[in-house]
């Protein structure tokens, strides 16, 4: 990390009399920041380490300034730290800042300067996002860690099945919940010896995943009573409900419940020009894991074990329209409606009525 020079330190003391705009380009080990004065002139450009100690040394003594940074691995804790230090923090959506992502002159110092200039002109150009709190991120980390183990278990199961088939045999009963070394007893001795450590690792992962399931149930029961409200919808379990709550965190950040469908990336894109209105794929913006869970919930709702409800009837009717991808589109549309429904239940606190729209309208009493 380059040390701050004496001249730069003296210049930092003079910042107290001016309103500053700062662009901070975060890197894994070191970052660049650019300071603009009220006239938009660059008064300081410096490199600093991407550590809490280095950030405090630079920004703790600065007057309240507007600091812009991009979303990334370090942006959650950096934005929280700078806010605690009394700074106005704007976290820019990295995918929407094309001046940086598609620039031919890609450089950390220039990126920090571009962030500062955009934040000085109009912060809305940065498409600012809001990071979740430290507690919500810690609880969500438990869910993400479990998801990592599930992906590893799936990969190992597929490896075991593929190796068995390539040998001319089959591994019977590949249910992840009960796959263990005993399942290899019907295989040839060579395969049993080769797959025993692999199947033992799968069984160990299954036990760790079960432990995570217990922790998730405990977190939901002790810290998030709203989970029970969302679980009223058949097809929404503790995992989906808790992930939904922790990802959105603040339900009142959305003006309408319908906006949640766009937030999780389940809304079709739009590229209308003149008389042309092409049908676009969903945007796939937002949190991909939450979107995956909502789609899984939609599959259950529309599947053979789904309970009768307005949402199920609507989705099945949509799938009946036919077409090559009719069922797939119905699942995505149901997942989008499920996201909207969960937000509405969360905000209103009402009891869920599965067939609310299917009840016949009450007839007015005769005079």
How confident is the model at residue 124, as a pLDDT?
A: 85
How confident is the model at residue 205, as a pLDDT?
A: 94
How confident is the model at residue 330, as a pLDDT?
A: 93
With beta carbons less than 8 A apart as the criterion, state whether 300 and 235 touch.
yes
Dist CA 280 CA 360 (whole Å): 36
- The half-sphere exposure of 236 on its side-chain side, counting CA atoms within 13 A, is 27
What is the rounded radius of gyration, in angstroms, for the C-alpha atoms of the chain?
Answer: 26
How confident is the model at residue 316, as a pLDDT?
A: 93
Dist CA 202 CA 209 (whole Å): 10
How confident is the model at residue 127, as a pLDDT?
A: 84
Tens of pLDDT, residue by residue, the chain (367 residues): 444 444 444 455 455 555 899 999 999 999 999 999 988 899 999 999 999 999 999 999 889 999 999 999 999 999 999 999 999 999 998 877 766 766 666 788 888 998 999 999 888 888 888 888 999 999 999 999 999 999 999 999 999 889 988 988 888 777 777 777 777 788 888 988 888 899 899 999 999 999 999 999 999 999 999 999 999 999 999 999 999 999 999 999 899 999 999 899 988 766 666 666 666 778 888 889 999 999 999 999 999 999 999 999 999 999 988 777 889 999 999 999 999 999 999 999 989 999 988 766 544 444 3
């Amino acid at each position: 990390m380059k040390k701050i020079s004496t001249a730069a330190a003296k210049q930092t003391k003079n910042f107290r009399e001016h309103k500053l705009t700062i662009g901070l380009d975060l890197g894994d080990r070191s970052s660049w920041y650019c300071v603009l004065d009220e006239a938009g002139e660059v008064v300081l450009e410096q490199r600093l380490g991407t550590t809490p100690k280095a950030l405090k040394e630079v920004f703790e003594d600065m007057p309240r300034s507007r600091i812009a940074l991009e979303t990334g691995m370090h942006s959650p804790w950096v934005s929280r730290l700078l806010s605690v230090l009394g700074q106005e923090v704007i976290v820019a959506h990295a995918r929407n800042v094309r001046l940086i992502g598609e620039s031919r002159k890609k450089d950390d110092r220039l990126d920090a300067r571009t962030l500062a200039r955009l934040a000085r002109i109009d912060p809305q150009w940065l498409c600012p996002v809001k990071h979740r709190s430290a507690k919500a991120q810690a609880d969500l980390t438990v869910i993400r860690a479990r998801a990592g183990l599930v992906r590893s278990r799936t990969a190992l199961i597929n490896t075991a099945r593929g190796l068995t088939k390539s040998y001319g045999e089959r591994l019977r009963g590949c249910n992840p919940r009960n796959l263990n070394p005993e399942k290899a007893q019907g295989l040839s001795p060579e395969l049993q010896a080769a797959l025993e450590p692999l199947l033992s690792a799968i069984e160990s992962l299954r036990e760790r995943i079960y432990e995570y399931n217990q922790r998730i149930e405990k977190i939901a029961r002790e810290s998030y009573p709203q989970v029970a409200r969302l679980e009223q919808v058949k097809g929404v379990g503790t995992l989906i409900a808790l992930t939904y709550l922790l990802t959105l965190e603040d339900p009142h950040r959305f003006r309408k419940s319908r906006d949640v469908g766009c937030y999780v990336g389940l809304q079709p894109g739009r590229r209308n020009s003149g008389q042309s209105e092409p049908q676009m794929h969903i945007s796939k913006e937002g949190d991909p894991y939450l979107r995956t869970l909502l789609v899984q919930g939609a599959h259950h709702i529309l599947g053979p074990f789904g309970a009768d409800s307005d949402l199920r009837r609507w989705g099945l009717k949509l799938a009946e329209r036919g077409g090559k991808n009719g069922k797939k589109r119905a699942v995505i549309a149901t997942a989008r409606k499920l996201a909207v429904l969960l937000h509405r239940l969360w905000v209103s606190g009402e009891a869920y009525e599965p067939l609310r729209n299917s009840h016949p309208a009450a007839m007015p009493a005769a005079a």
